[in-house]
């Protein structure tokens, strides 16, 4: 011991510093050799969880129960929103199988009038022609065949179809992405398509139409069954302005209608096919699954915004609105509940 002490005592200051550095380097290397693989595995797992949406704030946001918000209509009184109407994310969305799923409701005529149709859509798969239905009709009251409204995606483009007068976006859209798709017919019978609150360039005709009406969600006369998810379908008997459409988008997937006097149908598809517009156009679902495992890939800006904003409605009878702000997979960890409608 004494010899070792004398040996160390003979070292000068710089030699001692060098010895300490070597010891620290050796300790650090031993630490990395011991725990490096564990750290690497943890990092890989965290990245994988982030990519599948586990850390999406939508997973932890409050969810609105079925029927939480509805429109109240009383004679001689302007319609109003009742219940919990703060744009919370829905507990459930409606999943369509691409082969036999649809929702039918009483026929709504839109012939020779302004109208707007809006829905949140998540397409899992396009068929060979790149088409799926969002809303439409396929019975005699609609006019028959191509006379009927048929809206959705064709050739992967947002599509607005009527008799010999179809338009489509000039931009294709992909699968596995949430879109708010809005279709409007104005007072001059000019058709407009909006995606995520913004008007998109279109190609096709804009002449007068022969017949118009709807009674189906997820199916139509001329497009294939929806293979994906639809939520928050709204129909107005007026052409919403660009500001109004943008307001719908800013509300998010759980947003309430913004023009109550002109609202003719509202199907949140949150656990059922009921119409919450106050007009009793309740639907019947066929082979539709209401799934609670859907939030993992919902846009982050909406999942954080929904809990802090409230719905703004327009109570005038004006045909325009003012500005307001606000793969479906089964990997979500928040809810695994499903309802199946047959």
* Burial degree of 84 (CB within 10 A; 0-12, 13-18, 19+): middle
At 282, phi and psi to the nearest 5? Answer: -65, 140
Phi, psi for residue 317 in degrees, rounded to 5: -100, 15
CA–CA separation, 186 vs 167, rounded Å?
Answer: 14
Cβ 95 vs Cβ 291: under 8 Å: yes
* Neighbouring residues of 301: CB distance < 8 A, sequence distance ≥ 6: none
Which pair of tokens denotes residue 50? Answer: 């982030």
pLDDT tens for the chain, 342 residues: list them: 444 444 545 555 555 566 556 555 666 566 656 666 666 666 665 555 555 555 555 556 678 899 999 999 988 889 999 999 998 999 999 999 999 999 999 999 888 889 999 999 999 988 777 789 999 887 666 665 555 788 999 888 999 987 667 888 999 998 999 999 999 988 888 889 999 999 999 988 765 555 578 899 999 887 789 999 999 999 999 999 999 999 999 999 999 999 999 999 999 999 999 999 999 999 999 999 999 988 877 875 554 444 444 444 443 333 333 333 333 333 333 333 344 444
Contact at 8 Å (CB) between 269 and 101? no
Predicted pLDDT of residue 313? 42
CA angle at 72 for the pair 88 and 216, rounded to the nearest 5°: 75
Amino acid 77: pLDDT: 87
Break the chain into its structural domains and give their ranges. Answer: 2-51, 61-341
Residue 331 confidence (pLDDT): 31
Distance in angstroms (rounded) separating the CA atoms of residues 272 and 283 = 8
pTM of the model: 0.74
Cβ atoms 250, 136 nearer than 8 A: no
Strand partners, 265: 235
**CATH fold of 61-341, please?**
Jelly Rolls (2.60.120)
Q: Phi and psi (nearest 5°) for 25?
A: -65, -40
Distance CA 66, CA 269 (A): 8
Letter string b/e over residues 240-254, b meaning 16 or more CB atoms within 10 A of that residue's CB: bbbebbbbbbbbbbb
């Amino acid at each position: 011991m004494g010899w070792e002490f004398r040996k160390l005592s003979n070292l000068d200051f710089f030699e001692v510093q060098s010895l300490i550095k070597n010891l620290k380097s050796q300790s650090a290397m031993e630490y990395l050799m011991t725990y490096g693989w564990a750290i690497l595995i943890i990092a890989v797992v965290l990245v994988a969880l982030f990519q599948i949406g586990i850390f999406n704030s939508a997973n932890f946001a409050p969810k609105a129960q079925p029927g939480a918000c509805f429109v109240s209509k009383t004679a001689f009184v302007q319609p109003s929103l009742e219940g919990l109407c703060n744009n919370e994310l829905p507990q459930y969305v409606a999943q369509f199988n691409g082969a036999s799923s649809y929702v039918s409701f009483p026929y709504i005529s839109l012939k020779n009038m302004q109208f707007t149709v809006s829905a949140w859509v998540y397409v899992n798969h396009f068929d060979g022609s790149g088409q799926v239905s969002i809303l439409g009709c396929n019975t005699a009251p609609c006019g028959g065949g191509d006379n009927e409204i048929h809206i959705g995606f064709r050739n992967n483009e947002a599509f607005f179809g009527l008799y010999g007068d179809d338009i489509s976006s000039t931009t294709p859209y992909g699968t596995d992405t949430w879109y708010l798709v809005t279709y409007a017919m104005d007072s001059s019978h000019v058709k407009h398509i909006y995606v995520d609150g913004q008007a998109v360039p279109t190609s096709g005709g804009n002449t007068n139409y022969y017949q118009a009406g709807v009674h189906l969600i997820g199916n139509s006369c001329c497009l294939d069954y929806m293979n994906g998810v639809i939520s928050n379908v709204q129909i107005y008997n007026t052409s919403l302005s660009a500001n109004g459409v943008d307001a719908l988008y800013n509300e998010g997937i759980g947003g309430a209608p913004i023009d109550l006097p002109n609202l003719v149908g509202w199907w949140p598809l949150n656990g059922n096919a009921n119409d919450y517009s106050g007009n009793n156009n309740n639907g019947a679902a066929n082979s539709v699954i209401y799934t609670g495992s859907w939030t993992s890939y919902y846009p982050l800006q909406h999942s954080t915004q929904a809990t802090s904003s409230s719905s703004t409605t327009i109570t005038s009878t004006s045909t325009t609105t003012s500005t307001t702000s606000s793969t479906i997979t089964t990997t979500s960890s928040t809810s695994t509940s499903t309802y199946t409608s047959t």
